[in-house]
Each structure stands twice: as structure tokens, then as C-alpha cells.
Amino acid sequence: MKFDTPATTNPIDRMKVVGQPYERIEGRQKVTGTAPYAYEHHEFGADTAYGYVVGSAIGKGRISALHLGEAQKAPGVLAIVTAESAGELGKGKFNVAKLLGGPAVDHYHQALALVVARSFEEARSAAALVRVDYAREDGRYDLEALKDGAPLYTGGEAPAEDRLGDFETAFAEAPIQLDAEYTTPDHSHSAMEPQASTARWDGDELTIWTSNQMIDWGVTDLATTLGMPKEEIRFMSPFVGGGFGGKLFLRTDAVLAALGAKATGRPVKVALTRPQVANNTTHRPATIQRIRIGAGEDGRIAAIAHESTSGNLKGGDPENAVAQTKLLYAGAHRLASMRIAEMDLPEGNAMRAPGEAPGLMALEIAMDEMAEKLELDPIEFRVLNDTQVDPMKPDRPFSQRQLVECLRQGAERFGWNARNPRPGQVRDGQWLVGVGVAAAFRNNMTLPSGARVRLGRDGVVTVETDMTDIGTGSYTIIAQTAAEMMGLPLSRVAVNLGDSSFPVSAGSGGQFGANSSTAGVYAACVKLREAVAAKLGFNSADDLTFAEGEVRSGNRSVPLAQAAADGEITVEDTIEFDQGFTDAEQQSTFGAHFVEVGVDRATAEVRVRRMLSVCAAGRILNPMTARSQVIGAMTMGVGGALMEELAVDKRHGFFVNHDLAGYEVPVHADIPHQEVIFLDETDPRSSPMKAKGIGELGLCGVGAAVANAIHNATGIRVRNYPITLDKLIEDLPDVA
């Protein structure tokens, strides 16, 4: 199905099943432990072997010698896989560094060997006996030291410097100016389930259960890496214990599990340790951002510039922290640019809301600082500079843009009018209390997505697609889509996900998964409706009503199951989005975050007291699972604001706090009352579902809202995340 015109009235609009707050259909499996994750396939019995990854102990250099003798003699050891024994390996499209290193070392904890043994404990013990001699080389590990020499990034679609008008002149002439630098640190995904895989060979055919968000990307890159036909690999991720972007791409665990299984002739399990998750997989790169805003006395922005510098391995991309600044606020004179420093730290890549999350952590503090300079309310300053067209392309309107309504509704619900605009004035016992706001923005994206739909003789509709569920509710919204289209209760729909033998879907990532994958199911169900109509002798599916398990036309009503009386009906289709049509109007999602904090007046400890998120993101397919996505994202935003930071050892090039004891993330005690409001919105230009995405919007801007609330509570402006107590304590206001 080609999507090249705005969606008109269709069966989804009935909203009998879609849009309703159904609990997750796979939830019982997850809470009872019967949903098998990648490492939990135990059907192979005693033949199963276990692999343990030996990672590099240096950040850059070469292997002089690899001593395997002691490890090979250790109890239970079956094989040791190295780059030499594996032979020539390819490198996938989405990988920057080799997933099995040697003799060159590209980054700390790059996999150099896999020890395979009869048990995990034996593999781990033997791995400790592997000895590696290194020729260490000087590495580049300090972004601050490299920023001045970092070149402009020229590898993207946008110009190295994206300009409109004459920023420098307009900024110099603006009576009110801000020129400030903000920094965000490296972040780790820290999903509950680490990267893990179980691999088994049957002759030349490989089956691998792995924790991955994008099945087709993964199987394609695994085939490239192993130098084998894609058709000979079955790649499966039916259950994924969180990803946040860290499992978008093929990683070491999958490649080494396959190589280990080949070397031993047994099924092999490989799971990365927490330190390897931090250093061996991808992370969100640190940024140094300069923001300049020039405005008139009336508060209207005349000039705005956002320049960001980040680092990555050679061949990697920068963190696109300037993306939202091109679209969020008006201003006739504009500049956006990114610089990238070549570094030798582990690979930087996508993490939840890549670009907008760290970009808004800076931009939305800058907007508050400008409001303060202008003596304007922060919300009114944002409303004043709203725009209904793409600021970089003024002849291109937004398909939907309810930013102002998000701010207005949020202000009313949160009690913004009671806010004291003078910082450091509100106290509650030992606490200095403040409130903050930030806008939320995330672009809407869509990808082609396919599905297979089967109608059985029992009247049950089964959906098959390689779409994944990373804890987001994909199983449920896909079932809701099929149920709505075929006029069935949710209990009469079965959903199978995460298998490369199914039609290729959009996958889970970029906030495109839910909208794209359900649109693919919609397309397949349109075909199924047509097949049912033909089978039952109706002239056309267009005039039929599918409801309550029946197919109806005028006075005629036939049970849906009757169409499959002679045998199962199977169809499949793919939704394809016409780029010219979708690009004609700017499609984005918007929101507003409100936060109240307390700052201990003696210790400077920060406690979040309450949070509100208001979102405008197209049709909400399931408000229960959507709310879960948003409150989870809000929680992640608190982590980024107050505690999350991968500390870099700038001598040896690794992340020091590479486990969940040292890399702190929010826990239940850190998170107070959270409230979420979804605005009533549909976007016919987005998809037949008229939906968009929500999982990343809930993170965008949260960190800045926390930072702005801290400033309101204390009068202290912190521009370097995370905002830890040492950055506040010396400047706390005097208290009686």
C-alpha cells in the first residue's frame, strides 16, 4: 500500500478497540517469567555451551601477543574464538568499529576473544587466564581538549553550516543577547536486559535468538559480518528487555555466539557484562553546545544560533543536538552547525531521542535565560516565538503544531500562576522550592513496514511481522489494529513478532515504530478484508462493515470465520510512505514538561516533587501503554538532569563507572507523582493510523525543566549536566 495522500475516514476511526486503554496482551508472560528472553532458551539441554567475552584492556593500540595456552587447558573449555581463528570477517553497515578486534584495538573493551565452555562459570574462569600483550598507543579521550580543532561535520544531508538570513549581523544588533555554553556528558543506555544472544547451527543454517530492536538491520549486518547468505540466518527477538537505542544495531554478543557455536558444534549463549555494555556497545556521546539568541525589547527572537561539538570513532557520526533548534522557535536569522572530534572512546550512537534529548537540555535552559533577561514569563516568551511554519523554510507549514496548547494546558493543570518569578523565595521547611518548564519536541518519522495476516477456520486473526516489542506495547497496539480492522474483540487476535521469517517491519526505534508498524498491519488487513469479501461473495470490501465477528452489508450478515471455512486465508502487504508527500509539510510532535523540585538549603540535595507532561503526538493508539512510555521517559530525563554521567578516564580511554553501582539511574524513591496529558489530535498526513510517536517525546526537554526548576528554587544557573550537589552547594542563598 502506498501512502501518498492524506488519510480519510477509515475503520480505525471507529476507535472501538484502537485508542482504548488495554493492558499488554503479553504482560502475563512477562510477569510470570514465561516469556523467554534471548539468553533464556533452555530447550537444547546439556549440549548448551556458554561463551565469555574477553575485552581489550587498553583504549588504543595493537595486540603484540595473545596467550591462550592456560585458558585452553582450563576445565570445561571447548573452544576459544579470536580474530585469527575466525578468519576474515566483514563489517556491517551500522557498525563503526569491528565487533571482534585484533590485531588493531579500536576502543576499550573491544572484544578480542570468546572463551566457550560447558558452563558459564567455567567460561568466565578460563577467560581470566587469557593473557594479552599490548603495544599501547596514545589515544584521544578528552572532548574539551579536542573541541577547538574539531572540523565541521560534512557527512549529513544538511549543510555543514545551515544558515538562513544574516545571523551575525542580526545578533550583533539585537538589544537583548545571550551567548552561553552548555555541556552534556556521555550516557549509557542501561537497559534491564544486557545485550545477549543464543546461537545454534543446523548445517549451514544459523538460528540466533538475540536482544535486538531492528530485526532486518540485524540479520543483514550479521550476514555481512559472517560472509554468508542472509536467507540462511533466522534472527529472532520476540521479547526484548529494553533497548533505548542500544540494541538498534548488531553487537558483539550475536557475532561471537554464532562464531562460538560454529567452533564447538553446540548451541552457545553469550551475554555481555555490565562493564561491557557500557564500553563495548554504543552510548550517547557527550556534547559541548554554544547557543546564541538575540531578541528585541518586545521579546521576539531576531537571531538564533546553535553550534554543537561531539566526538566519535573515525567514521562515526556526531550527536545531532541542533536538530530541534532549526524547527522549534521563530527567528528570521538562523545558524546551526555540528562539529565532530575524532576520538578513541567506545562508539557513540543513537540513544533515546538522539539529538533532541541533549539538544533540548541546552536550548530550553537558554530560552529560560533569555526570558529572564527580557523580564518575561518563560511560557509567554515561548508562546511569543511560536511559529506555524518551518522557520528554515517559511513556505512549508507544520501538519499539526499544538505547542502553545501544550504549554497553556500544562500551566493551568500545574498551577503555574502560583510560581514566584523571583528565584530563591519559596521555602518549605528545609527545602528551597522551585518550578520549571521546558518545551518538548521530536520529529515524526516513518519507515516502510510489512505484515502478514492470517484468518483461521476458528475465526482467529493472526498477525506476523518482524516488529519488536522492547517493553513499549507493540504486541498490544498491533493486536488492537487488527481487531479494529477485522471487527473482532482483542481476544480473537494473536500476534507473533520479532522473527526474520516474518515480513520486514519498521522495527523499534526513532519513535517511528508504533505508527509505522500498525500502518503496515492496517495495509495487510485491508487486503484481508478484500479477500474475505471475495470469498463470501460480496462485490466490494469498501461497502462492508466488519463488526462483532461478522461481515455485514445491508441486511446480510455473515460470520467472519465462514470466509475461512475451506481453509486459512493468508495475505501480506507493506505500507510505503511517499517521501514527496510526507515532506510537503513538516511533521513533528510537541509537548511541555513541568517540574517542581526541592533543594535542601543545607546540603544542596535535589528532590523532584512532582512532574507533568503534556503531549501532542497524533492519535494515541493506547493511552495506557503510551502513558507508560511517557512516564518512563520522564524518569530517564530526571536521570540525565541529576545523576547520569559516564565518567571518562582521560588517560586510558574508558568509562570508569561502568556498572549500575557507579552509573546511577533513578529508582522508585527518586520519582514522585507523575501526570501525563494527551491532547486530542489526529494527523492525516502521518499515516492511515493518523498517529505519530510518543516514546521519545516524553524525554525531550525534561532535563531542562529540572534545571530551570532548580534555578527558580535557588537562583543558581547550572549549564553543565548532571546537576549534582557540588555544583550548587557553595552558591546556595543564605538562609536565616
Instruction: Enumerate the active-site residues.
Output: 696
Cα dist. 205→200, 208, 220, 226, 728 in Å?
8, 10, 15, 12, 59
Cα separation of the two ends of the chain: 69
Cell numbers placing 179: 551567548
- Distance between CA 408 and CA 504 in Å, rounded? 41
DSSP string, 475-542: HHHHHHHHHHHHT--GGGEEEE-SBTTSPP---S-TTTHHHHHHHHHHHHHHHHHHHHHHHHT-S-ST
Going by C-alpha positions, the residue among 144, 140, 257, 138 that lies closest to residue 208 is 257
Note the Cα 153 to chain centre separation in Å. Answer: 23
Instruction: Give the single-character DSSP code of 330.
Output: -
DSSP string, 695-708: TTTTTTTHHHHHHH
The contacts of residue 645 (CB under 8 Å, 6+ apart) are 185, 186, 187, 657, 663, 721, 722
- Distance between CA 192 and CA 696 in Å, rounded? 18
Residue type, 579: Q
Going by C-alpha positions, the residue among 204, 265, 232, 257 that lies closest to residue 41 is 257
If you search the block for the grid coordinates 531492528, which residue do you land on? 214
Length of the chain, in residues: 736
Instruction: Give the single-character DSSP code of 332.
Output: S
DSSP string, 182-203: EEE--B----SSPSEEEEEEET
Going by C-alpha positions, the residue among 302, 279, 212 that lies closest to residue 249 is 212
- Distance between CA 40 and CA 34 in Å, rounded? 10
- Distance between CA 622 and CA 518 in Å, rounded? 12
If you search the block for the grid coordinates 549543510, which residue do you land on? 159
Task: Output b/e per residue, 264-303; b: 16+ Cβ within 10 A.
Answer: bebbbbbbbbbbbbbbbbbbbbbbbbbbbbbbeeebebbb
Q: Given phi > 0 = left and psi -120 to 50 = alpha, else beta, which region is 537?
A: left
Going by C-alpha positions, the residue among 355, 428, 415, 327 that lies closest to residue 379 is 415
- Please, are residues 533 and 551 in contact by the beta-carbon 8 Å criterion? yes
Q: Inter-axis angle of helices 356-374 and 623-642, to 10 degrees? A: 70
- Distance between CA 311 and CA 70 in Å, rounded? 39
Going by C-alpha positions, the residue among 618, 684, 520, 542 that lies closest to residue 2 is 520
> In this structure, are strands 431-443 and 61-67 parallel, antiparallel, or unpaired?
unpaired
- Distance between CA 564 and CA 425 in Å, rounded? 71
Output the CA torsion sign for 321, 327, 328, 334: positive
- Please, are residues 692 and 617 in contact by the beta-carbon 8 Å criterion? yes
- Please, are residues 579 and 615 in contact by the beta-carbon 8 Å criterion? no
Cell numbers placing 614: 503534556
Q: 3-state class of 658 per DSSP?
A: coil
- Distance between CA 338 and CA 317 in Å, rounded? 10
